Structure 1
Amino acid sequence: MSISFLFKPNPKKKTFRSTQAITESGQQKRLDYWTRIRGVEPDNLIFMDEMGVLLGLELTCSRSLRGQRAYTLKPFYRGTKITVIGAITNQGVLAMQTMPGFMKGDDFRTFMQNKVVPKLELGKVVVMDNLPAHKVKGIEVDDYCNWS
Structure 2
Amino acid sequence: MTTAVTRPHTVTARINTPDIAPAPSTYTATVYKNTVSNGRSSYQHHHPLAEATRQDGSPLRLVLHASVRIRNHEAAAGAVFDVGNHQCADDNGQTWPGDIHSVSVGDVIKITCPDHWIVHLSVDPTGFSAVPEPTHLVPLAGSSAAPRRR
TM-score, reference length from structure 2: 0.27
Higher relative contact order (CA 8 A, sep 6+): 2
- The structure whose residues are more often helix, as a share, is 1
Larger radius of gyration: 2
TM-score, reference length from structure 1: 0.27
